[in-house]
Structure 1
């Protein structure tokens, strides 16, 4: 039996030995650590990379903004945020602190989700604000991205005396890795800025792939945005399969992030195994709440599946499709290939909402059959989006064998967002 994260539980799947060619798992899944999660975070904050300590930075400030991730990211803020707040107020008890939720292009995080993320005490006592990327009154223009797009960012972050961010680092399907500079772009950027950065040309770039930041044009824009925003300090963590902290990196937004990416790359790299059928997931809650996010786990399967193969994607998608533009653009298209061809012709300054996710899903659907496994989502919605649906894994595997044959080779990626599939 193989355990696959699904929503807040685990599915146990079985594949016969004659078909199972390999299981691709990040070494972060069972990485052993010494000390508590709090100890790991405090150790990082005591050993900053490339910057002054947090305490030195806050010492003479009247106000500051702490950027944090939204409800779609498993950042353990119930651990990290209290540590940050305690350290800050120990040195500067009167400082005015605003916690800014980096929603990017997502919907606002609601109160229940905030409590789940931070804990009730912080939600009731702290000033927490959602970034709204379409609210022009809350944005300010701070320059022009290397890609040519206007860089509009949240005023609160730009105008504060000190800007820091917390987050986590995981492989990212077109930015290389999450964390660091992503707190700014897309985190607190305008919708138009995000769309310029996520243009079809960049998404199609060979370097805009999982685990790649060198020569990645999307990463280059993000670094520029972090510099212009004067992001002074980050605390980024790396987590295991149980969402527990296994390492932390604090300090300069570029250097600390690079150190975290280097650490994670050693753990998350797995060697490609060619297969006819690849089973993947989005690592369970909170990343498997919708189809939009589930595309990430599909890209791991895409990297090791033979063209014309079958990708079985196990994701709850209990929150539906995850984006109106994402859903309707796909549903109203003639098919994935036609849609992909059309998107690739869209200029940088004409990017539409969710185009990047549409583009990547269309790329995958043009080359593979995708079977979504969920009993928490509307089956017709999935079918309308040019995918197949199964209520359970057994039915999905049977359908995959019908397509590729009973002797088809199968690879399983229990957590598709946790691995970097290498060709070498």
Structure 2
């Protein structure tokens, strides 16, 4: 059976003998069809908000409006979302002073070229756009998170008369789902606040997993921060493999988000198909631009690979590692169990940058070896305790050698960030 796997802006294919293939884990999300265009979906959602008045109503009398938008690492179809949102805000107040604030979290700054690619040249030329920096942007402390960490948010948000956000909803490997409240935390929060929320205690929590919101301490902190920051309205979409919106919700940050999560869950939950070798991806561009982000797609494989098996991860990684701290936490210590012990001994106020990603990465490495197909230098991949490969065929041969069986069972996950694998 020939299976294609997204890799950057192209695909890599391989033939897998059917007697070895345990399953191809894909969500019906990618086969879901709608006759409406992306803009029509967004406009319809804006006309029918959930748990909230219309955005145009909220905008009346509000002069200083901040519209939080996702950054370059998120495949949000902003060209279909931002213009209708701007139109709706100006319908309520034609003279509103609108700032589009890019929610980078702790990511690098979004470039001008990436902004044009994301929003289109017209929006970039005509609108006021600022990029959040978790270390240098002006910040305000607005309270203490339920977990005990300081809640420090970009001053632009706190000073606004109206705060709204766009985004998309996908399975998230420790926040349950992306979207909504994540526009605030980690989106426009200080590094101090992000580190406290992503502490080792929470990352190790059994409820801090894909598809779980209730009882998830990371999610609960995020909701508290978003409410405190007065996030008044969201527009979130669900996207398919082509990164096109197939469903949209608008309105209250909790109620509208819940409807989006319900829709997504109905399409992307899949049963695990245990195998010796599991092949996964990060869904291609833009989510596979660095190694750091690729850990997400690996967690889908983690849920279905056998103990002692092999995960083959495909991620182009043309933008490099994605986190220097992440790299050194892995590369500077050969004993990953020792590193895990150090993380678990730290309290939330001493969390170090990227340790949450490293903690999850070590957790899956303790279950299976990882062969990494990418454009990253081999020495970088080895430093991260993975085995480099430059084609699927090469990776599969290496995996068969590791498990000691050239007839080893295989499970394929063409898009590891679009499925919720149920063990």
**Alpha-carbon separation, structure 1, partners of 2:289 and 2:50:** 34
Alignment of 1:195-210 (within 5 A): 195-210=195-210
Mapped pair 1:132 → 2:133: yes
RMSD: 0.9
Mapped pair 1:3 → 2:4: yes
Q: What is the Cα deviation at residue 192 of structure 1?
A: 0.6
**Alpha-carbon separation, structure 1, partners of 2:366 and 2:70:** 32
SS in 1 for 2:85: helix
**Alpha-carbon separation, structure 2, partners of 1:335 and 1:300:** 24
8 A contact 2:101–2:132 mirrored in 1: yes
Q: What is the Cα deviation at residue 24 of structure 1?
A: 0.3
2:277 — aligned with what? 277
Q: What is the Cα deviation at residue 335 of structure 1?
A: 2.6
**Alpha-carbon separation, structure 1, partners of 2:11 and 2:310:** 22
Q: Deviations over 1:375-395 (max 9, x none)?
A: x22111001111001000000
2:160 — aligned with what? 160
**Alpha-carbon separation, structure 2, partners of 1:420 and 1:357:** 18
1:307 — aligned with what? 307
Q: Where does the alignment leave 5 or more consecutive residues of structure 2 unmatched?
A: none
Q: Where does the alignment leave 5 or more consecutive residues of structure 1 unmatched?
A: none
SS in 2 for 1:358: helix
SS in 2 for 1:94: coil
Alignment of 1:305-344 (within 5 A): 305-344=305-344
Q: Deviations over 1:359-415 (max 9, x none)?
A: 1111111221100012x2211100111100100000000111111211211000000
1:406 — aligned with what? 406
1:30 — aligned with what? 31
**Alpha-carbon separation, structure 2, partners of 1:359 and 1:175:** 15
Alignment of 1:369-408 (within 5 A): 369-374=369-374, 376-404=375-403, 405-408=405-408
2:116 — aligned with what? 115
Q: What is the Cα deviation at residue 286 of structure 1?
A: 0.5
8 A contact 1:337–1:363 mirrored in 2: no
Aligned residues: 421
Q: 4+ residue runs of structure 1 moved beyond 3 angstroms? A: none
Alignment of 1:221-240 (within 5 A): 221-240=221-240
1:350 — aligned with what? 350
The TM-score, its normalising length taken from structure 1, stands at 0.98
**Alpha-carbon separation, structure 1, partners of 2:91 and 2:232:** 19
The TM-score, its normalising length taken from structure 2, stands at 0.98
Q: What is the Cα deviation at residue 14 of structure 1?
A: 1.5
SS in 2 for 1:416: coil
Mapped pair 1:63 → 2:60: no
1:16 — aligned with what? 17
**Alpha-carbon separation, structure 2, partners of 1:385 and 1:3:** 26
SS in 2 for 1:73: coil
Q: Deviations over 1:105-131 (max 9, x none)?
A: 111101011011001111111111111
2:89 — aligned with what? 88
Q: What is the Cα deviation at residue 60 of structure 1?
A: 1.4
Q: Deviations over 1:21-47 (max 9, x none)?
A: 100001111111121111111111111
